């Protein structure tokens, strides 16, 4: 934003000082509404009195003001030849007027002729005033080399000439040349820099980000006593701000004796540009109550503070600024209107943004690009293209590269591919694809529209491929389901001589995470360490995500712990990572650390911690998180709502899940899916089917997740006929192709019902190759029904797919053990030992008083272990009186009966229930979560315990819920 930069300096300011009192000049500029003092002298020229007495000069002024510079030059020539312009002062003034007009209209052709006229005159060729004006003219016309030629040709170089050339260099962004000239001024002359030299040099220091030289200029200003000048102070503020030294910029501002509106605007801009949006708003508030005379916010103020409001989402503050701008009568200014439209769009007030846009009578291309971006950000594809078509009908504006860049994010699905190709054709015809950003954006857009072939063609059509171009294609494949191709492209990129940057590394880590390619990810990590990239937060988060998705939570936690300034994203990644890797206690601990560290959780963290609560049935903690979400106004978020329904369902509170579901006004497919799945895992198959039918009556469209929930419900309720019906209807009636998880559910359903032959037949007829989950489910059913023939056939398939998974050997061992084939059991266990595999121990959790307690089989680690064991012995005596007999068939060890009974007593769910009875009041419902399927003996025992202690006991195993009450279980002994 130009308003915060030092004002352009030219020799013309010096001449003004020559003819006017300095204090008056400074005061007039301090009170000026124009924050950008023009490079040229105002129309009240150096000898304005001559205009009144010279009709020639008046005529010359009129021609220059109207842009008729050739006529003005002819007038000057004709009167010089006729002798009409006799006064040398008037002649100089006339030439000065014409030079100024040439600079203003950027007419270097006429300017060169005037220069030639001056050079041909013996009296004028060495005139310092005209030389400075010629330098200024060439600089304004964008030809600083000509300015340098005039400077070098001057016989005597005074400070006016140096300042004019310095200003020209700064104006044309030749910052290093400006610095060299300044050093020449200091070393080769006796001239002392003044208050017009220093702002130009400060601007040059900012241009090359040389804060050390800028500090030297600052010191020089203090030493020369020129720091009282507002122009110098403003230039220093701008310099420090652009170099990222906000504290220094604020310090200059606070110590300035003479501040004007540019000073306030400059320090606000310095804060905003360096991410200090809150500080920017704070300075603006100070400006409003400032006692400094005559300071009224202007256009430059508004276009600085409004984006700051947008950046921090302070829409209320933005509305106040909007009201103030309206009172000041500057909302009609196109830049102010554009800033307001942008602010409302970014804060989610698209309706207000559109209303302001429609009211803007002087729309420019920025106006259109801003509102298009607002619609694109919201994913309003139709709105974006309607605006684009309307924009093309405007005569005064033309679609440019930024327009295309703003439109492309709205193209995010296959159904938008045709429109994307239309935009591509338009961009190609207008040459926009020469812009690397545009070409890269098309690569990304085609990828999101599932057309990677088109993305590659755009990439191949680029003339000069940069690292960013490669990043666009590599990222497109990594993010859209082709991570292997992205790794291949990286190798091609390296062969072409390109070195990866942080964005390349981020995409590669994503690709490795998607492939669960841990070894390759570690190699990339090594590359990062060697090149110092791990310190980057973006890369650090990508690395954490890699290890988390590859189930290496320890390595992910190490990266997390090493990060000094943990952002909200870091905490989110860690919490959801623990939750997804079934480490719920660690997720809850991390959430507590986040809160104690003063980090305010948002929707993602809340969703992650609710998932952790659901894994261990931590109802009290889940309720506390629910309360937090309500207070933080997060409960209306769709993801949080689904997580709450899921949490209460998995904590055994279907009534509460139903209450939350009923309060959702606009139910999307995700909400229906969660409640259907909730009833499914509780074995309420008919209720799940009822909701499935209601969903369709309400206009919901079942998807693959809906059918998965329905099939799970049919599975746990033993509704085999209904389950097979819905599997058949999925694709034929609803157009949803069954996936492996759907077939796995139906295979499990048939297996549980004892229809093992039908289950095996379905597996063999599946269109896709069955995975280990399907074979594992079928082998488990073979074990339950003692089918050795099918079991051995299935085990071969399973061990071929996953030879290093302990659970598979355990299933086979259990099959043999259940049939009394102990020799085969020993062989299987020997294979496990040779492969270094160990069986997962049975583990149960129970939440009491907001703390989650974990119990392992035969766990004696708690201080209350003896009390727990004694409690179960007492319970066992009571339930034995009403029919309990230990069922040792589920103890698959070659032991005597007494040894088997001893093992049964130490099952983890029995320990958890005993602990719960010891530490809760009478009548309290006990909620236990178990990592394995509950055994027959525990199921029988807990049914009777619920009767003798007169308690509801809810156990969730790895398959479903069991609600024990008064000696019965809701599963009906079918699980």
Q: What is the pLDDT of residues 751-776, one digit of tens each?
A: 989 999 999 999 999 888 998 889 99
Instruction: Say if residues 72 and 60 touch (Cβ distance below 8 Å).
Output: yes
Instruction: Say if residues 918 and 945 touch (Cβ distance below 8 Å).
Output: no
Mean pLDDT on 163-169: 94
Residue 413: other Cβ atoms inside 10 A: 13
Mean pLDDT on 405-409: 92
Taking the domain 567-666, which CATH number applies? Answer: 1.25.40
Q: Which two tokens stand for residue 530?
A: 């060697």
Contacts 24+ apart (CB under 8 A), 25-31: 26/229, 26/230, 26/258, 29/230, 29/231, 29/260, 30/230, 30/258, 30/260, 31/260, 31/294
Instruction: Say if residues 151 and 30 touch (Cβ distance below 8 Å).
Output: no
Residue 962 CA to residue 965 CA, distance in Å, equals 10
3-state secondary structure of 437: helix
Mean pLDDT on 450-456: 89
Q: Do domains 567-666 and 756-839 have the same CATH topology?
A: yes
Q: Is the pLDDT of residue 481 over 60?
A: yes
Residue with more model confidence, 54 or 140: 140
- Exposed, middle or buried, 334 (CB in 10 Å: 0-12/13-18/19+)? middle
Q: Is the pLDDT of residue 911 over 80?
A: yes
Q: Is the pLDDT of residue 15 over 70?
A: no
Using 50, 70 and 90 to split pLDDT, how confident is the model at 534? low
- Whether CATH 1.25.40 fits 756-839: yes
Q: What is the mean pLDDT of the chain?
A: 86
List CB contacts of 174: < 8 A, sequence separation 6 or more.
Answer: 144
Domain limits, the chain: 363-447, 451-456+469-519+532-559, 567-666, 668-738, 756-839, 843-969
pLDDT (0 to 100) of residue 90: 57
Residue 614: other Cβ atoms inside 10 A: 23
Residue 132 CA to residue 221 CA, distance in Å, equals 24
Q: What is the pLDDT of residues 712-765, one digit of tens each?
A: 999 988 899 999 999 999 988 888 999 999 999 999 999 989 999 999 999 999
pLDDT (0 to 100) of residue 198: 92
Residue reference for tokens 């002298």: 41
DSSP state for residue 532 in the 8-state scheme: T
pLDDT (0 to 100) of residue 177: 94
């Amino acid at each position: 934003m130009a308003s915060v930069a030092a004002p352009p300096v030219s020799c013309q300011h010096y001449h003004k000082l020559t003819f006017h009192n300095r204090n008056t000049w400074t005061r007039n500029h301090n009170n000026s509404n124009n924050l950008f003092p023009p490079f040229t002298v105002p129309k009240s020229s150096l000898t304005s009195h001559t205009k009144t007495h010279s009709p020639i000069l008046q005529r010359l002024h009129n021609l220059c003001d109207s842009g008729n510079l050739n006529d003005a030059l002819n007038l000057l020539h004709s009167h010089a030849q006729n002798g009409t312009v006799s006064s040398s002062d008037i002649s100089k003034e006339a030439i000065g007027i014409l030079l100024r007009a040439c600079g203003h209209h950027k007419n270097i052709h006429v300017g060169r002729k005037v220069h030639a006229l001056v050079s041909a005159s013996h009296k004028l060729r060495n005139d310092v005033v005209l030389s400075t004006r010629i330098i200024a003219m060439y600089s304004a016309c964008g030809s600083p080399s000509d300015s340098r030629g005039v400077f070098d040709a001057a016989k005597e170089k005074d400070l006016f000439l140096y300042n004019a050339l310095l200003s020209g260099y700064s104006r044309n962004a030749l910052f290093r040349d400006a610095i060299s000239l300044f050093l020449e001024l200091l070393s080769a002359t006796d001239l002392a820099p003044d208050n017009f030299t220093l702002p130009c040099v400060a601007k040059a220091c900012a241009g090359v980000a040389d804060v050390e030289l800028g500090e030297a200029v600052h010191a020089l200003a203090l030493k020369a006593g020129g720091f009282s000048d507002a122009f110098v102070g403003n230039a220093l503020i701008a310099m420090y701000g652009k170099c990222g030294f906000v504290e220094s910029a604020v310090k200059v501002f606070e110590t300035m004796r003479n501040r004007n509106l540019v000073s306030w605007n400059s320090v606000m801009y310095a804060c905003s540009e360096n991410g200090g949006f809150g500080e920017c708003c704070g300075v603006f508030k100070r400006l409003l109550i400032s006692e400094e005379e005559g300071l009224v916010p202007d256009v430059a103020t508004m276009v600085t503070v409004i984006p700051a409001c947008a950046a921090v989402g302070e829409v209320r503050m933005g509305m106040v600024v909007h009201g103030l701008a309206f009172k000041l009568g500057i909302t009609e200014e196109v830049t102010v209107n554009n800033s307001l439209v942008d602010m409302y769009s970014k804060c989610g007030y698209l309706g207000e943004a559109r209303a302001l846009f429609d009211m803007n009578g002087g729309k420019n291309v920025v106006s259109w690009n801003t509102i298009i971006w607002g619609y694109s950000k919201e994913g309003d594809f139709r709105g974006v293209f309607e605006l684009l078509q309307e924009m093309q009908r405007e005569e005064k504006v033309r679609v440019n590269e930024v327009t295309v860049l703003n439109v492309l994010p709205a193209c995010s699905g296959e159904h938008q591919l045709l429109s994307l190709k239309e935009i591509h054709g338009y961009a190609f015809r207008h040459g926009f694809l020469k812009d690397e950003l545009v070409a890269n954006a098309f690569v990304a857009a085609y990828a999101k529209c599932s057309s990677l072939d088109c993305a590659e063609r755009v990439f191949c059509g680029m003339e000069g491929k940069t690292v960013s171009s490669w990043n666009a294609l590599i990222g497109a494949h990594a993010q859209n389901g082709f991570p292997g191709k992205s790794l291949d492209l990286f190798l091609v990129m390296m062969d072409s001589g390109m070195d990866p940057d942080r964005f390349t590394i981020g995409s590669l880590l994503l690709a490795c995470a998607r492939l669960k390619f841990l070894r390759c990810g570690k190699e990339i990590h090594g590359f990062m360490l060697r090149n110092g990239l791990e310190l980057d937060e973006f890369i650090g988060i990508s690395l954490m995500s890699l290890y988390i998705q590859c189930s290496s939570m320890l390595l992910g936690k190490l990266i997390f712990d090493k990060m000094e300034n943990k952002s909200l994203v870091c905490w989110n990644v860690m919490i959801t990572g623990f939750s997804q890797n079934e480490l719920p206690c660690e997720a809850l601990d991390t959430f507590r650390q986040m809160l104690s560290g003063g980090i305010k959780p948002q929707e993602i963290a809340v969703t992650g911690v609710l998932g952790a609560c659901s894994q261990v049935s931590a109802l009290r903690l889940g309720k506390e998180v629910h309360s937090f979400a309500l207070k933080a106004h997060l409960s209306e978020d769709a993801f949080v709502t689904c997580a709450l329904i899921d949490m209460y369902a998995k904590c055994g509170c279907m009534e509460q899940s139903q209450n939350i579901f009923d309060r959702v006004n606009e139910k999307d497919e995700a909400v229906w899916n969660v409640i259907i799945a909730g009833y499914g895992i509780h074995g309420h198959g008919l209720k799940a089917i009822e909701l499935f039918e209601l969903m369709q009556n309400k206009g919901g469209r079942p998807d693959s997740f809906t059918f998965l929930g329905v099939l799970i419900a049919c599975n746990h309720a033993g509704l085999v006929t209904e389950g097979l019906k819905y599997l058949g209807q999925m694709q034929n009636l609803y157009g949803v192709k069954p996936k492996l998880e759907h077939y796995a559910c139906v295979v499990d359903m048939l297996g549980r019902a004892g229809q093992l032959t039908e289950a095996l037949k379905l597996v063999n007829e599946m269109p896709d190759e069955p995975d280990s989950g399907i074979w594992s489910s079928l082998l488990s059913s073979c074990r339950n029904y003692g089918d050795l023939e099918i079991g051995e056939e299935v085990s071969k398939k399973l061990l071929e797919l996953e030879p290093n998974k302990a659970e598979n050997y355990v299933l086979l061992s259990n099959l043999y053990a259940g049939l009394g084939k102990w020799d085969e059991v020993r062989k299987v266990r020997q294979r496990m030992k040779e492969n270094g595999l160990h069986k997962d121990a049975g583990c149960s959790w129970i939440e009491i008083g907001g703390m989650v307690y974990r119990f392992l089989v035969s766990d004696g680690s708690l201080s209350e272990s003896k009390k727990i064991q004694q409690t179960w012995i007492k319970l066992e005596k009571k339930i034995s009186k009403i029919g309990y007999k230990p069922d040792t068939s589920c103890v698959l060890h070659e032991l005597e009966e007494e040894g088997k009974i001893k093992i049964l007593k130490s099952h983890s769910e029995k320990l958890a229930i005993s602990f719960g009875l010891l530490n809760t009041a009478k009548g309290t419902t006990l909620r236990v979560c178990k990592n394995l399927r509950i055994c027959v003996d525990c199921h029988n025992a807990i049914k009777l315990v619920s009767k003798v202690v007169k308690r509801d006991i809810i156990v969730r195993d790895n398959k479903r819920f069991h609600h024990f009450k008064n000696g019965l279980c809701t599963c009906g002994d079918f699980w």
